[in-house]
A and B are shown apart, each in its own frame.
Chain A
């Protein structure tokens, strides 16, 4: 089975966001694989363990993103592709999906896995867009995946309900929390990953016209939310505190 995983490198969830001149400052932030993409990598390794095959992880980013690919190789992916992007090149979700499609079209694949969203931009667009660019079906926010021959059965989280979907390969699926428990890279895995193939491609050398990549949206600026002032800690007997709280909330929300 030929398995492709698309992933993104993001700030560690512990990181605080710093903004200068309306832009997010990237310096010194701890970088990780987007947590939802980690589920995708783990699921790919599980698929390979069960069905055999070959896993290719693909990302778009600067040379910094290589570490995310190496981690995926250490977890069990076989090949990695870094589509290198100049820091100044603005790609919106439309452009990202087109670049990924241009690279993936040239390869054999049965299934593409990714996270259902990135925790930084949080748009949830790239998965469905890529499926459409490649003209394959997709299922988003999956929590279970079974493949039997060419048939696919997934469970997907739909706002708390579970939808059971059937489809066929090739397909693109996006991972939701609960799909699996990502493993940590093992020491032998990390050693092996250093020797696994990592190909670097230059966006400008892909067969894409400039107009196709040009962003159709623009970020005007970024800013931090207003700092919330600390509130009131109630005091007294617990029973009295509960009664007081309910009175306080009565004024602020409609209850009953």
Chain B
């Protein structure tokens, strides 16, 4: 029987969706075995029931104000405490800012392997993880051959499935001490906006957007669809927008349900970051642009004409849907 532990993550007072996705993977791996989650911070206990809904039989809780904000030292002590208590065979979390920091750190202490950024899991004789390499230009199947199995799962790739379990809370106490890095301030540049890595819809702009002002046109469409705005390297290099929006081999890799590329030529580095999106739409003045080769639908035209039209059409559609529901 496999015992699986999931490190759940809270952002702005809510469990992140990726934590439910990872619990779904945990259920697949546990295959009838034990599934537990752990969550840290002062009010961690309140997340128990929701984690239970997605399959956590036990929820280990470490309530400590030193864990309200992520620090490598704090989370390392907390995670190692839970692993020591539960003795899991497999430990999973999201391939997020926190996950990709804390897992290698804890693994170094435990002398364990970590499979990073997995997008698919097959359970047979062993647990085989599929992960993109070269930002998705190729894929790799990988397994852990010895000791504890640790893996980070890419957000937005596996559908979270409800799987009601007891979600029994187990409170642990441990001293969190000697934090060698201190968080002085968090500037919420992305607050109120949808996170790129978890966005279902991304409206992305390239050099064709021509300036910061042009990105507002894209933002308007993103707002209507509840999506996020992304950018190509060209747009970032030209300072039309912040590098944190960059999608591609030297930026973020994204897999939304809908990716609308506006004024993006489609350099190989950019395609590496977005070509696994479920539906790709390209809008470009140049009918020869490379982006059309991987697009499901293309419109050859000026994005400043097309995007506002799309915004209006989607608004109409949403209004119709609401009228029907009411």
Q: Do A and B bind each other?
A: yes
Interface residues in chain A, defined as those with a beta carbon under 8 Å from any beta carbon in chain B: 11, 13-14, 16-17, 19, 24, 35-36, 92-94, 97, 119-129, 131-133, 136-141, 143, 153, 157-168, 176-178, 214-225, 228, 230-234, 238-239, 241-243, 245-246, 248-250, 252-253, 255-256
Q: Is the CB of B138 within 8 A of A124?
A: no
Residues of chain A within 8 A of B197, CB atoms compared: 159
Residues of chain A within 8 A of B105, CB atoms compared: 128-129, 131-132, 138
> Across the two chains, which residue of chain B brings its CB closest to A243?
B313
Residues of chain B within 8 A of A256, CB atoms compared: 314, 317-322
- CB-contact partner of B104 in A36, A125, A215, A218, under 8 A: A125
Given A159-B96, A165-B181; A230-B314 close (CB under 8 Å): no
* C-alpha spacing A230/B116, complex, angstroms: 31
Given A17-B137, A128-B101, A253-B279; A242-B309 close (CB under 8 Å): yes
Q: Is the CB of B140 within 8 A of A219?
A: yes
- Asked if B276 lies at the interface with its beta carbon under 8 angstroms from chain A, I say yes
Q: With contacts A24-B138, A165-B182, A245-B281 known, what are 18 further pairs, Cβ within 8 A? A: A13-B250, A123-B117, A131-B105, A132-B76, A137-B180, A157-B244, A167-B180, A177-B243, A222-B139, A223-B139, A238-B309, A241-B299, A249-B258, A249-B297, A252-B257, A252-B279, A253-B257, A253-B278
Residues of chain A within 8 A of B196, CB atoms compared: 159-160
- Ordered by A's residue number, 23 sampled pairs between the chains whose C-beta atoms are within 8 Å are A16-B137, A35-B250, A93-B114, A123-B116, A136-B180, A140-B100, A159-B195, A163-B185, A178-B242, A218-B142, A219-B141, A220-B141, A222-B133, A222-B141, A230-B295, A231-B297, A234-B297, A241-B301, A246-B310, A246-B316, A252-B258, A255-B321, A256-B314
Residues of chain B within 8 A of A232, CB atoms compared: 296-298
Ranked nearest first, the 8 interchain pairs of A and B with the lowest CB-CB distance are: A160-B190, A256-B318, A137-B180, A242-B309, A132-B108, A123-B116, A216-B113, A178-B243
Q: Is the CB of B96 within 8 A of A242?
A: no
* C-alpha spacing A153/B184, complex, angstroms: 9
Given A94-B111, A120-B134; A125-B116 close (CB under 8 Å): yes
Q: Is the CB of A233 within 8 A of B300?
A: yes
Residues of chain B within 8 A of A214, CB atoms compared: 146
Q: Is the CB of B276 within 8 A of A225?
A: yes
CB of A8, distance to nearest CB on chain B (Å): 13
- Asked if B123 lies at the interface with its beta carbon under 8 angstroms from chain A, I say no
> Across the two chains, which residue of chain B brings its CB closest to A130?
B108
* C-alpha spacing A138/B193, complex, angstroms: 28
Q: Is the CB of B301 within 8 A of A238?
A: yes
> Across the two chains, which residue of chain A brings its CB closest to B275?
A228
Q: Is the CB of B138 within 8 A of A94?
A: no
Q: Is the CB of A160 within 8 A of B317?
A: no
* C-alpha spacing A136/B253, complex, angstroms: 30
- CB-contact partner of A222 in B138, B200, B306, under 8 A: B138
CB of A125, distance to nearest CB on chain B (Å): 4
Count residues of chain B with CB under 8 A from any CB of chain A: 104
- Asked if B186 lies at the interface with its beta carbon under 8 angstroms from chain A, I say yes
> Across the two chains, which residue of chain B brings its CB closest to A38?
B250
Q: Is the CB of A161 within 8 A of B188?
A: yes
* Binary A-proximity of B113-145 (CB < 8 A = 1, otherwise 0): 111110000000000100111111111111111
* Binary A-proximity of B220-245 (CB < 8 A = 1, otherwise 0): 00000100000000001000001111
* Binary A-proximity of B257-273 (CB < 8 A = 1, otherwise 0): 11000000000110010
- Asked if B201 lies at the interface with its beta carbon under 8 angstroms from chain A, I say yes
Residues of chain B within 8 A of A233, CB atoms compared: 287, 292, 297-300
Q: Is the CB of A216 within 8 A of B281?
A: no
Residues of chain A within 8 A of B314, CB atoms compared: 246, 255-256
CB of A217, distance to nearest CB on chain B (Å): 4
Q: Is the CB of A217 within 8 A of B145?
A: yes
- Asked if B85 lies at the interface with its beta carbon under 8 angstroms from chain A, I say no
Q: Is the CB of B142 within 8 A of A220?
A: yes
Q: Is the CB of A141 within 8 A of B97?
A: yes
* C-alpha spacing A220/B126, complex, angstroms: 12
- CB-contact partner of B72 in A138, A216, A234, A248, under 8 A: A138
* C-alpha spacing A14/B300, complex, angstroms: 26
- Asked if B147 lies at the interface with its beta carbon under 8 angstroms from chain A, I say yes
- Asked if B1 lies at the interface with its beta carbon under 8 angstroms from chain A, I say no
Q: Is the CB of A129 within 8 A of B107?
A: yes
CB of A184, distance to nearest CB on chain B (Å): 15
* Binary A-proximity of B87-116 (CB < 8 A = 1, otherwise 0): 000000000110011111101110111111
Residues of chain B within 8 A of A246, CB atoms compared: 310, 313-314, 316-317
